[in-house]
Amino acid sequence: MSIHASDPFATPDELKSPVRRLRGRLPAAVTLWTAAGDRGLTVSSLLVVDGDPGRVLGLIDDESDFWAAAEAAGRFAVSLLTPEDRQLADKFAGLMPAPGGLFATGEWERTDFGPVPRGRSWAGCRLVGAEAKGWSLLVEGELERIELGEAGGALVHERGRYRG
C-alpha cells in the first residue's frame, strides 16, 4: 500500500529529456530477466525477433547484478509479467524493498537459464552479445527454450505507471 498517489522520487516531466519523455509515451510490456545466482532485473525495453533461431534484444543497466551474472553464465531467462506482478516488477526494479532478497517471496521454478516465476511464460536465452547504446547496454540473446504459460494479459508500463 502506498501513501502517495505518485512516485515522490520521480523526476518531474519538465526536467526529463525529450528522449525519455518520448520513450515514456510508448506502452511497453514488462518482463523479468533473471540469471543463475539469483540475480534479476525488470526490463521493459525489449524486442522479440522471429527467425531461425529467434532472438531477444533488451536494453539493461550494465552495472546491474543481473548483467554480471548473465555475462558470467552466458545465459539468462526472460519471463513475461502479468498485472498481478506489479510488486514483483517494482522489487526487481529497485523501487520497492525486498526483505529476505528478491526471490524470497512467490513461487519460483529453477531452470538452467535462471529462476522464473512459476506459471508464467518465459524464454531461456544464450547470450550472443552486448553493446553500449546510449546509457544502456543492448543485450542480445538467442532463444533456446520457450515455455508458454497460461494466456493472459501482459503487465504494461506507460508514462511511469503500470496498466493492464
**What integer pLDDT is reported at residue 8 of this predicted model?**
66
Q: What is the mean pLDDT of residues 22-29?
A: 80
pLDDT category, 160, cuts 50, 70, 90?
confident
Domain positions in the chain: 28-163
**What integer pLDDT is reported at residue 3 of this predicted model?**
59
Residue 1: CA atoms inside 13 Å, Cβ hemisphere, count? 1
**What integer pLDDT is reported at residue 152 of this predicted model?**
75
Grid-cell match 540475480, residue found: 39
Burial class (CB in 10 A: 0-12, 13-18, 19+), 134: exposed
Residue 12, SS3 per DSSP: coil
**What integer pLDDT is reported at residue 150 of this predicted model?**
77
**How would you write 88-137 as a 3-class SS string?**
HHHHHCCCCCCCCCCCCCCCEECCCCCCEECCCCEEEEEEEEEEEECCEE
**What integer pLDDT is reported at residue 4 of this predicted model?**
55
Dist CA 44 CA 94 (whole Å):
14
pTM of the model: 0.88
pLDDT category, 20, cuts 50, 70, 90?
confident
Q: How many CB atoms lie within 10 A of CB 4?
A: 8
pLDDT tens column, 44-94:
999 999 999 999 999 999 999 999 999 999 999 999 999 999 999 999 999
φ, ψ of residue 81 to 5 degrees: the values are: -100, 155
Does residue 2 surpass a pLDDT of 80?
A: no
91, 99 Cβ separation under 8 angstroms: no
**What integer pLDDT is reported at residue 22 of this predicted model?**
77
Architecture of domain 28-163: Roll (2.30)
**What integer pLDDT is reported at residue 18 of this predicted model?**
84
pLDDT tens column, 89-144:
999 999 899 999 999 988 999 999 999 999 999 999 999 999 999 999 999 999 99
